[in-house]
Amino acid sequence: MELDEDYIVWFIMRTLPSLFDSIRSSYNAQKEQWIVEKMTTILAKEEDDMKKGRAKSEAMVMNQNNN
């Protein structure tokens, strides 16, 4: 059974822990749909920033939109 990529992204976003609420909010505010690869990159960067104690999700997502 093959799952639609939009469904996979939706499911992952729905099941993220609350630490990722800013990413979820940014995603929901956008008109474009992320592909799994893009979402994975953004979430990995956010997790790395959290580990370093400097979550910059809003700036990162805004920067991604400008590219």
Please indicate whether residue 44 or residue 57 has the higher confidence score (pLDDT). Answer: 44
pTM comes to: 0.67
For 5-26, write each residue's pLDDT tens digit: 999 999 999 999 998 998 999 8
Q: Identity (one letter) of the amino acid at 41?
A: T
Domain boundaries, the chain: 5-15+24-66
% of the chain exceeding 70 in pLDDT: 79
Q: Is the pLDDT of residue 55 over 60?
A: no
Q: Pick left, alpha or beta for residue 53 (phi over 0 → left; psi -120 to 50 → alpha; otherwise beta).
A: left
CB of 25 closer than 8 Å to CB of 18: no
Q: Residue 41's CB: how many other CB atoms inside 10 A?
A: 14
